[in-house]
Amino acid sequence: MAGLVKIDDEVITTDQFIKYLKLNGQYDKLIEELVKDKLTVLSARKQGIGVSPEDIQQRADQFRRVLGLHRAKQMNAFLDAKGISLEELEAHITDLIFKEQILERVVSDPAVKEYYNLNSPKFGTVDISHMILDSEGKAREMISILDEAPDLFEEMAKQHSIADAEKAGRIGKITRGSLPPTIEAKVFNSKEGAILGPFPCGDGTFFEIIRVNARKPARLDHDTSEQIRKRLKDEWLAARLREHRVQTL
């Protein structure tokens, strides 16, 4: 087994390094990313996406400039120090280009627009505040007061809520899927300023009151587009995982 680091006379091996990653909870995540990368490249190759020598050379030149390796001698010394051959670097660059090109198709502007048109209700947001009380009686008493004086919500949350009191109960912007379905339906269908609840929460011994501060209808803006691109990528990768048998050794 190969050594990675030497501290005085003690050598840290690759096996020790892998066990360190496993014990620190990092191994599975790194393996998952590696598998996703490899499946993406496989899919690109299957779809006949091409990478030209010019593409590879351009990206290699960019790699050298970023690292300040302006001469061939400097580049060779860098690769030798890393234990990486020129062929391995070119293969790595090729895979990067494959991934970029296929993912550009997956998350293209037309794909984003189509996804939005089919799922636009998911992208409306609601800004909310809440307070948590330790009995239903207290919660109902708060609601009766707020029905008459809704502007007292922040003050009452600071004084009486057992959660987020320091923020006056402010939660902020939420999207669909952030709340239990029965509560979510009421929140997203209520007007601005509505006081809702009390809703049982936790193990049923606590009760929540929610105020709808503001509503933002769905719109295909930059933030929504980025959310959709992430979803498209995640869904595409999940589909690729289902096409192959992946085993951790």
Q: Write the pLDDT tens digit of every residue in 50-85.
A: 899 999 999 999 999 999 998 989 999 999 998 899
Tell the residue number behind the tokens 């990478």, with chain if given.
51
Establish how many alpha carbons lie within 13 A of residue 136's alpha carbon, considering only the half-sphere containing its beta carbon. 5
pLDDT score at 146: 93
pLDDT tens-digit readout, 146-156: 999 999 999 99
Q: Which two tokens stand for residue 248?
A: 């951790």
CA dist 93 and 205 (Å) reads: 57
Query: Partners of 206 in the beta sheet?
Result: 201
pLDDT tens for 24-53 read 999 999 999 999 999 999 999 999 998 999
In this predicted structure, the answer to whether residue 120 has a pLDDT above a threshold of 80 is: yes
Cα–Cα distance between 128 and 176 in angstroms, integer?
A: 13
Only one residue has tokens 């008459």, namely 148
pTM above 0.75, yes or no: no
